[in-house]
A and B are shown apart, each in its own frame.
Chain A
């Protein structure tokens, strides 16, 4: 490209003596070799880039509610503030939410979110009337969270629970409001 004519001539003779077929055979060999080495080297790059697709990088951790023994003689719903840890890549957000620990009709522990399924107010427990009564729009729920009356289209939402080492754990979730079926959002 840049060399003078004299150099080119000189070079041309040298190249020809090597043999065009051997040159191209070597070329194919080098091309294939480079391709395979390149493919090998790109393995860590691809794995690095695809990490968020192959592993969970956003996760909602289970939050401890309290020791199981605390809830063994439960006669009415009790409010517990739980810490929710939401991991998002290299960061996490911790927030607090109120949940109720109560019992279902079979006497099994059940955890309810305190967010009203109507429009999202925090539902307080009314001790005197022995029911949940939302202060915003008057939705009424029984002690186990089932709908009794008012504008809500469904009962209070139960949360997934699990038990680990005598601790009650709960996976906090948000649900769509103003619908009759429980539907997870976010």
Chain B
């Protein structure tokens, strides 16, 4: 026993004992922590490098808030909106957590853009970092897909119509567009199957892909090493390196702190609203996507008819392919932005176009009095709905709902007799049947009203044995009872 202990202690890096020491000898946690923190950064820590870990933090926050929201959410067209309203209006801290999740998506897009811009402007994709850049591009796409699929889930007017437009745009893709749209929607129209599909993508498929890609992104980053400042050699860093811990960690934490405080204050003081439930029959509703989709939304407006394919498919595809191919096309080791005018010009052009399209969409909405008025009305409806207290959903098992369908006054009278005479004690409420007596639902197919009247007055021997007494009612009441029993479907 002693000798084994000595051997173990001998192989461990430190003289630590106790639980931490034991855990460390078994897992090598200390080594793992050390290799995570002792990452060398050529040229030293800088605030320019903080965005990656900021993204990781928001992603973690999205995962946690998402899991908690799933405690109450139901992905179906008849319950989705009610359950989100319940989260927002009834559950403690529900509005705050939902806001954190919704604003978190926007924060993710902003920080992702900053991360990508930093990498591009610093030329950090150079020097055997093609796969690192590619995995980042795919991650960008996945984050946008998360935002798109998550947007539908509350199933309010805004969500429904934005997704209707979004999935419609997909059908513009030649040959496979229509099939793709149907695949996304789970049919030709948006409905409860659409929610389930978006939910599965948002909660299982895309997050799984993001986890895998984040892991490979970090692995590839550590494999290639930090690129360092713009005047550093991307292949063989020469500048004096500083470890990730502590200064870079502290800088990264400053962004995390900013995100926590900023998102916390925003969610507390300006919580995300939930509009009235989706009404597909609303022909007036003017759909608008979330702000980060506005440039694409505005861009698609310009392309109609036979040439649409160029704008909807060819140009966006070329743009995406061009962005992905950057590290393959740009092979020079020059990283200083002022020595890369073409690269910087292209960047400025794309950013200018995106901002221009986004603001153009906003400008047009404000200066079209009809649309501005409708958008104002939609906002007012949203605020009005948000002020109303939570109203539970009437379950389909409710008897009141069944009464509404009982339009025939004679059958309605018969229902009172059915219950007053205790028929429901054995045959069940609504004649659904119990262990004591058979169901009466659908009996119309078996017996005519006259046959039923005869059976009620003179039950068969088998009925008698089961406890069915002869019914002694006035002819009018008997007629009403038969009308009710015949109406049971």
Contact = CB atoms under 8 A, between A and B. Distances in A.
Interface of A: 1-4, 7-8, 10-11, 14-15, 18, 23, 26-27, 30, 37, 41, 43-45, 47-51, 54-55, 79, 81, 83, 87-96, 98, 116, 119-124, 134-136
Contacts of A49: 68, 71
A10 B40 contact: yes
Given A124-B420, A124-B422, A90 B394 contact: no
Contacts of A136: 422, 425-426, 467
B393 A90 contact: yes
A119 B426 CA distance: 10
A63 to B, nearest CB: 12
A2 B223 contact: yes
Contacts of B219: 2
A54 B241 contact: no
B249 interface: yes
A89 B253 CA distance: 39
B39 interface: yes
Contacts of B401: 94
B421 A3 contact: no
B365 interface: no
B96 interface: yes
A121 B103 CA distance: 56
A55 B92 contact: yes
Interface string B245-258: 11001000100000
21 contacts: A3-B222, A7-B225, A10-B40, A14-B40, A14-B242, A45-B68, A49-B71, A88-B395, A89-B72, A90-B83, A91-B82, A91-B392, A91-B394, A92-B394, A94-B401, A95-B400, A96-B400, A124-B420, A134-B422, A135-B422, A135-B469
B397 interface: yes
Interface residues of B, number: 58
A109 B467 CA distance: 35
Contact of B425 (A47, A51, A94, A120): A120
B212 to A, nearest CB: 18
Interface of B: 35-36, 38-40, 64-65, 68, 71-72, 79, 82-83, 85-86, 90-94, 96-97, 219, 222-223, 225, 237, 240-243, 245-246, 249, 253, 260, 390, 392-395, 397-401, 403, 416, 419-422, 424-426, 429, 467, 469
Given A51-B92, A91-B393, A18 B222 contact: no
A144 to B, nearest CB: 21
Contacts of B242: 11, 14
Contacts of B35: 1
Contacts of B467: 136
Given A2-B223, A14-B241, A83-B400, A23 B246 contact: yes
B424 A122 contact: yes
B425 A3 contact: no
Given A7-B225, A14-B241, A122-B422, 5 more contacts: A10-B241, A90-B82, A98-B419, A119-B425, A121-B425
B236 to A, nearest CB: 9
A89 B400 contact: no
A182 B243 CA distance: 75
Contacts of A79: 420
A89 B96 contact: no
Contacts of B420: 79, 98, 122, 124
B67 to A, nearest CB: 9
A44 B271 CA distance: 14
Contacts of A94: 394, 398-401
B395 A92 contact: yes
A27 B39 CA distance: 16
A10 B240 contact: yes
B97 A44 contact: yes
Contacts of B416: 81
Contact of B243 (A14, A93, A95, A134): A14
| A-B pairs, 6 with minimum CB distance | A1-B35, A11-B40, A90-B86, A44-B93, A121-B425, A92-B392
Contacts of B71: 48-49
Nearest to B467: A136
B39 A122 contact: no
B397 A93 contact: yes
A14 B94 CA distance: 47
Contacts of B398: 92-95
